[in-house]
Amino acid sequence: MPFLLFSLLGGEIADRFDRRRVIAIIGGVTVALAAATGLFVAAGSLPIWLLAVLGFLLGTCNAIAHPVDRAWVVDLVGRAHIVRAISLSSLEWASARTIGPAIGGVAIATVGIAACYGAYALCVLPVIALAIIVRTTNTRAELGTEHDQTPGALRSIVVFSAFTGAFTIGILPYVALLPDVAKNTFGQNAAGYGAMEAAGGAGAIAAAILLSWRGVNAHKGRFALAAALVGALLLIAFAHSHSVLVASMLLAAMGAVDTMMYALTNTYVQAIAGDRRRGRANAIFALAFMGGIPVGNASLGLLAGHFGTQPILGWSASIVAALAVLFWFAAPQARDAA
Residue 90 included in any domain: no
Pair (68, 195) in one structural domain: no
CA 117/CA 124 separation, integer angstroms: 11
Pair (134, 215) in one structural domain: no
* The pLDDT value given to residue 140: 46
Pair (23, 62) in one structural domain: yes
Residue 89 included in any domain: no
Pair (224, 254) in one structural domain: yes
The residue segments making up the domain with residue 271 are 150-335
CB 328 within 8 A of CB 225: yes
Residue 88 included in any domain: no
- CA torsion sign for 320, 322, 324, 330 is negative
**Number of structural domains in the chain:** 2
CA 148/CA 76 separation, integer angstroms: 18
Pair (131, 26) in one structural domain: yes
Please give the average per-residue pLDDT across 117-145, as a whole number: 77
Residue 91 included in any domain: no
Pair (176, 160) in one structural domain: yes
Residue 10 included in any domain: yes
Please give the average per-residue pLDDT across 199-207, as a whole number: 89
Pair (194, 212) in one structural domain: yes
Residue 179 included in any domain: yes
Residue 43 included in any domain: yes
Pair (311, 219) in one structural domain: yes
Pair (100, 175) in one structural domain: no
pTM, two decimals, is 0.82
* The pLDDT value given to residue 296: 94
Span between the terminal Cα atoms of the chain, in Å: 30
Residue 188 included in any domain: yes
Is a pLDDT exceeding 50 seen at residue 143? no
pLDDT per position as a tens digit, 10-56:
999 999 999 999 999 999 999 999 999 999 999 998 999 999 999 99
Pair (208, 225) in one structural domain: yes
Pair (241, 172) in one structural domain: yes
Pair (325, 201) in one structural domain: yes
Is a pLDDT exceeding 60 seen at residue 141? no
* The pLDDT value given to residue 58: 95
User: Which residue blocks in the chain are alpha helix, DSSP H?
Assistant: 2-16, 19-43, 48-77, 82-110, 113-133, 153-170, 173-184, 190-214, 220-239, 244-272, 278-289, 292-307, 309-330, 332-335
CATH code for position 230: 1.20.1250.20
Cα angle 91-120-174, degrees, rounded to a multiple of 5: 50
Average pLDDT score over the chain: 88
